[in-house]
Amino acid sequence: MKKVLVTVFLLVSIMALMVSADALQRIVSSGYLSVGMDAAGYMPFEGTNSSGNWIGFDVDFARMMAKELGVKLRIVPTRWSGILPSLVSGKFDMIISAMTITPRRAIMVNFSIPYFTVGQEVLYNTNIYKTPPTLKELLGRKNLKVAVQMGTTGDDAAKAFFKNARVLEFASMDEAALQVAMRKADVAVADSTYVGYMAKKYSQLSSINETLTTENYGIAMKQSEFNLLNWVNTFITYEKANGDWQKLYNKWFTNYQPNS
């Protein structure tokens, strides 16, 4: 019986390694790297311009990855609520979409090493709060309306920290931020990079500059694809070391001015 179990274990291990090896080779052989991204957009990470072309940090980072592999990039816009199941079912090779690494998500997929670090921050309307509110002040308020994107870590943070608030969930973060701009919600909770982007886009929006959490973004891949995972980790390390990552950061988070 022990011999049979050992044989079965070895066969499973060999099959897993074959699948792992095939994942990276399949991308190269096909000539395409298929990447799942949030269809609703999440600038400055991903979104579309007036011509309908995809732009943003994640888009450029994915293009750099495709170029290094010698293939073309194929973006697969996907609703956020179904993006993990879509990866698992094989609709694309990986997710590069400002996705926070969490234990719950890691049950379904493998994550790369972090390629970006952010914090959850609070977005508020300066026409409502003439003086910037403090986090302590907001957390102590009752009946506060907090807008978030459903299924995000901003959603989780709002529910965890704003115990007395009413959390309003929306399909996209743009919708959530718009509620604050239109005074239909008191504040919104989102990644610090997005909050900074919206503060640039709308003059009436600003951040309290206090973080609720610190989070790492990772690139998600199907489980067992270890060769692909190792290659992606190597790519991230290489791009951060050679300065290209920093150039990309400067392009989208220092120099980029969103159109209102």
Supply the pLDDT for residue 260.
45
In this structure, the answer to whether residues 107 and 222 fall within a common structural domain is yes
In this structure, the answer to whether residues 6 and 102 fall within a common structural domain is yes
| 27: CATH | 3.40.190.10
Whether this prediction's pTM lies above 0.85 is answered by no
In this structure, the answer to whether residues 28 and 92 fall within a common structural domain is yes
Q: Residue 49's domain spans which residues?
A: 2-115+218-255
Does residue 143 belong to any structural domain of this protein?
A: yes
In this structure, the answer to whether residues 232 and 202 fall within a common structural domain is no
In this structure, the answer to whether residues 244 and 130 fall within a common structural domain is no
In this structure, the answer to whether residues 95 and 53 fall within a common structural domain is yes
Does residue 260 belong to any structural domain of this protein?
A: no
> Is 248 in a helix, a strand, or coil?
helix
For 196-208, how does the pLDDT look when each residue is reduced to its tens digit (9 = 90+)? 999 988 999 999 9
In this structure, the answer to whether residues 191 and 67 fall within a common structural domain is no
CA 12 – CA 171 distance, rounded (Å): 40
Phi, psi of 91 (to 5 degrees): -75, -15
In this structure, the answer to whether residues 110 and 121 fall within a common structural domain is no
In this structure, the answer to whether residues 85 and 178 fall within a common structural domain is no
Residue environment code for 57-76, b if the CB has 16+ CB neighbours within 10 A, otherwise e? bbbbbbbbbbeebebebebb
Tokens of 124: 């508020």
In this structure, the answer to whether residues 202 and 104 fall within a common structural domain is no
Task: Domain count for the chain, please give it.
Answer: 2
DSSP 98: S
In this structure, the answer to whether residues 205 and 183 fall within a common structural domain is yes
For 143-172, how does the pLDDT look when each residue is reduced to its tens digit (9 = 90+)? 899 999 999 999 999 999 999 899 999 999
For 79-134, how does the pLDDT look when each residue is reduced to its tens digit (9 = 90+)? 999 999 999 999 999 999 999 999 999 999 999 999 999 999 999 999 999 899 99
Asked if 207 and 122 touch (Cβ cutoff 8 Å), the reply is yes
Kindly indicate the confidence band of residue 257, based on its pLDDT and cuts at 50, 70 and 90.
confident
Does residue 193 belong to any structural domain of this protein?
A: yes
